[in-house]
Structure 1
Amino acid sequence: MHDNHIHSKFSADSHMEAEEACKRAVEIGLSGLVFTDHVDYDFPDFDESFLIDYNEYFSFFHELKARWKSKLDILIGVEMGYQPQVIDEIENTLNSYSFDFVINSVHIIEHKDPYTGDYFIGKTQEQAYERYLQEILCSVNAYDNYDVIGHIGYAARYGNYKDKPIRYKDYSDIIDEILKAVIEKGKGIELNTSGLRGDLGCTIPGYDVFKRYFELGGEIITIGSDSHYTEHLGHSFNEALEYMANIGFKQVAHFEKRKPVFEKI
């Protein structure tokens, strides 16, 4: 198994040393790590710390890859934060560098951040979740230069609600639109295990969404821990794989040079 979504010190919100991540990955039996550090153009209260020098980035990870090649597969990815006004910047970066893997993620909606709580002000839970899902649908259709849609349900981690998860039954129409568009475009979705580490209590998205994805004919799934700390690498992967197998999925994937490589469950 590869952990397909992790953050090193190149992400402004992470302090994880890449070398330590590699040591931990080998200890727990992972076969590969995909470093997907954040790029969020025009982030609220934006400053230069949100950007990455990609010449330095690729140089660093190529050296890391060479050092670990006999023990661990190191792949170079990016988690690209979608906002409609930054599509040109996104495309320019993705067309300028040879990433193995691109996650298309929505972190900011209406230039407001769920993490700080600003996004939820003046909205009911239903309004907040519906608008968030609409933005994911926009991101799916806005461009094609990505491989999977990241953590569908991310915003639910930060709402001050008693019952947090975004459930398929409550938003089935728009979730169906998202999943059908993903499948039609030949893209995939991410199973993000970070929700199992907090009070959300489920993967992101939940298994009910993956059940529907399977029913609609979806095939491409990557599994990622969204780790910012070494102790979270590979978190709950066995549980996630068991659920995917129970739904009916036969394989999961990682990406190399933007092409899916399938691994039997």
Structure 2
Amino acid sequence: MPLVSTGDLVADARTAGRGVAAFNVITLEHAEAIAAGAEQAGSPAILQISENAVKFHGGNLSAIAAAAAAVAKSSSSPLSLHLDHVTDPELMRAAHPDGFSSVMFDASKLPYGENVKATADAVRWGHERGIWIEAELGKVGGKEGEAPLDAHAPGVRTDPTEAASYVSDTGVDALAVAVGSSHAMTSRTATLDHELIAALTAAVPVPLVLHGSSGVPDNEIRAAIAAGMVKINVGTALNTAFTGAVREYLTTHEQGVDPRKYLAPAREAMAGTVAGFLGLLKPQE
């Protein structure tokens, strides 16, 4: 199936009152697992490649993007390609020829006024090329290299009034908000502020994005979608499944040297994780 548009997937999910999941791609196996999990669940999904993943690949976006796009195009599920947590405008501009329909431009660490200016510039660039732009307001925290951040500390969460102004001033297509989750959580213990999610939904005209969903329990994700959250980002949960399967294989096969022997179960474990998350996002009967 041809690559689809992230904007269309998000809009369709929002209209249907469900969520759409975006899963982080680090290796080819991640992309293959996301496609397989989406097919198992009979659901669309977003394959997202972060700036950190690009750095892992030596700064070469094109190779991992081409691999992810090829996997997506051979899948029977509708899949899109998204460039995530981009702070470098040059990397953002590289997305256009590499098949991305969307970019999350992250200026959230800048002072508010600078964030607005940088994001508005990114939106102008993206919209001139038909690229859907997501941005972040608030402090989700937890990414590698960042100082520890309490997701419930004063000043961390996104303010609805400020969010309304931010969306109006930047023209973004979606807004990632800080509502109690954190990146890189390996246990699903986060508690979200559902009243805040509902207030943000009422305050801004664009779909909301939940980052750090790997650390959010099933019931919290369902409640967040009911309150208005649409795009659900998942990364660490895939890595936990991947690493667990590799560790289990190597523990019982200490002399093993063929990476296919442990990458296959790792890919299968990630596919199961993808299918599980996608099942959460469907409307409950």
> Could you tell me which of 60, 84, 92 is aligned with 1:79?
84
Find out whether 1:241 has 2:222 as its counterpart. Answer: yes
TM-score normalized by the length of structure 1:
0.56
User: Could you report, residue by residue, the CA deviation over 1:178-205 in whole angstroms, capped at 9, with x for unpaired residues?
Assistant: 44222451521236865565598245xx
CA distance in 2, matches of 1:236, 1:216: 26
1:121 is matched with which residue?
none
Find out whether 1:49 has 2:57 as its counterpart. Answer: yes
CA distance in 2, matches of 1:132, 1:198: 31
CA distance in 2, matches of 1:32, 1:178: 28
Q: Is the partner of 1:155 in helix, strand or coil? A: coil
- Aligned 8 A contact 2:135 2:175 in 1: yes
CA distance in 2, matches of 1:200, 1:159: 20
Q: Is there any run of 5+ residues in structure 2 with no aligned partner, and where?
A: 1-18, 127-131, 233-280
1:35 is matched with which residue?
47
2:31 is matched with which residue?
18
Closer, same or farther in 2 for the Cα pair 1:217/1:159, shift >3 Å? same
The aligned amino acid for 2:230 is V
CA distance in 2, matches of 1:209, 1:132: 22
The aligned amino acid for 1:240 is I
2:190 is matched with which residue?
201
1:13 is matched with which residue?
none
Closer, same or farther in 2 for the Cα pair 1:67/1:96, shift >3 Å? closer
Between structure 1 and structure 2, the one with the greater Rg is 2
- 1:93 Cα deviation after fit: 1.2
The aligned amino acid for 1:17 is H
Q: Which has the higher strand share?
A: 1
User: Could you report, residue by residue, the CA deviation over 1:73-109 in whole angstroms, capped at 9, with x for unpaired residues?
Assistant: 2211111422xxx43x1453134333122112358x5
CA distance in 1, matches of 2:56, 2:225: 39
- 1:143 Cα deviation after fit: 2.3
CA distance in 2, matches of 1:183, 1:237: 32
The aligned amino acid for 1:149 is A
- Aligned 8 A contact 2:85 2:104 in 1: yes
> Could you tell me which of 198, 203, 214 is aligned with 1:211?
198
2:8 is matched with which residue?
none
The aligned amino acid for 1:252 is V
- Aligned 8 A contact 2:197 2:224 in 1: no
What is the RMSD computed on CA atoms of the aligned residues? 4.3
Find out whether 1:252 has 2:247 as its counterpart. Answer: no
Find out whether 1:101 has 2:80 as its counterpart. Answer: no
Q: How does 1:121-140 map to 2 (within 5 A)?
A: 136-137=115-116, 139-140=118-119
CA distance in 1, matches of 2:219, 2:42: 11
TM-score normalized by the length of structure 2:
0.53
Q: Is the partner of 2:57 in helix, strand or coil? A: helix
1:9 is matched with which residue?
27
2:260 is matched with which residue?
none
Percent identical across equivalent pairs?
8
Q: Is the partner of 1:19 in helix, strand or coil? A: helix
2:139 is matched with which residue?
153
Aligned length: 204
